[in-house]
Amino acid sequence: MRRHLIVPILLLVTLAACNGPPAPEQAGVCWRAKPDPAGSSTFTPLARDVGSLENCAVLLEGVRLQGAAEADGAYQGYFIFVGPDAMTSALHTHGVRYPIFQPPQRRVIDRDLRRMMAERGGKMPDADEIGIERR
């Protein structure tokens, strides 16, 4: 009877390994991912008291606009992937990635971020200065 339990447990462990470790879940913290030599990522807080996944994605986009090669991160259990062509989120690093913003929305965000950073001498805006309105 124990053999019947081992197979499902091994299957669950294998599936969990395919998904990779979960994203940090601390409420209101926008995390920045930094790849490590082992091929996974370590996360450091980028900002606290962030109101939404979208606001976190905008902060990560600001990091990318400042010239960072990697600007991925996480917010409350979701991974955020920020690249030159898309801003997406997923529950797992190798899971289905969903768009956070469409290209026209991103152009407006980038324009506003560049303006805000120029007004601050190149410095990123604070989390409380970012507010995304859904239309």
The answer to the question of residue 81 being in a domain is yes
Contact assessment for residue 54 and residue 13, using Cβ atoms and an 8 Å cutoff: no
The pLDDT mean for the chain works out to 86
Q: Is position 30 within any domain?
A: yes
- Per the structure, the count of domains in the chain is 1
Domain with 40, as residue range(s), is 22-129
Residue 16 has pLDDT above 50, yes or no: no
Residue 131: which residues within 8 A CB-CB, separation 6 or more?
Answer: 51, 55
- Is residue 102 in some structural domain? yes
Region 46-64 average pLDDT: 96
The pLDDT of residue 134: 55
- Does the residue 66 lie in any domain? yes
Q: Is residue 6 part of a domain?
A: no
Name the one residue in this structure whose structure tokens are 């969903």. Answer: 98
In a domain, 32, yes or no: yes
pLDDT band at 19 (very low <50, low <70, confident <90, very high): low
